Amino acid sequence: MVGHDERLAAENGDWESLTADEKLARLEGFLIGGKGCQCEECLWEYGSVLGQFGVAAIPLLISALHHECVGVRMEAAETLGRLGPVAHEAIPALRIALMDEDGPRSNENSVAGLAAWALQQIRRRGSAER
Ligand SMILES: [Zn+2]
């Protein structure tokens, strides 16, 4: 387990100097483009950072719902749910995620369970009609 934090820090030493768009582009490279370490631990880390970008991260979060790594899919679903109604464009992708092979909707710690929760959060206040 040596080196993940250090390697991530070395790869992203300029992180603080990047604009939000540049950060998102880099995360897209990690999550979708296959750049950087692709181990589960690092992928989960990349996914968890997306929550910092709010609405700007929604397209990438939607892509991440289809990621081959279960951890990334869970993180994406949960982050979309936390964004709530502003993430309404994710509804179709979250509906598909309800059938995720990771587990039944009844398990709240599965991709499908988190997708069901996220859909509830997004639809609170009738956002589906917007
Ligand atoms: Zn790694």
Q: How far is the CA of 89 from the centre of ligand 1 (A)?
A: 31
Domains along the chain?
4-128 (1.25.10.10)
Summarised one tens digit per residue, pLDDT across range 48-60 is: 899 999 999 999 9
Summarised one tens digit per residue, pLDDT across range 92-130 is: 999 999 999 888 888 889 999 999 999 999 998 654 444
What residues sit around ligand 1, an ion, with C-beta below 5 angstroms?
4, 37, 39, 42
Tokens of 105: 């909707």
Question: Considering the chain, what is the average pLDDT of its residues?
Answer: 89
Tokens of 59: 């397209």
Cite the DSSP H helix spans in 50-110.
58-64, 70-83, 91-97
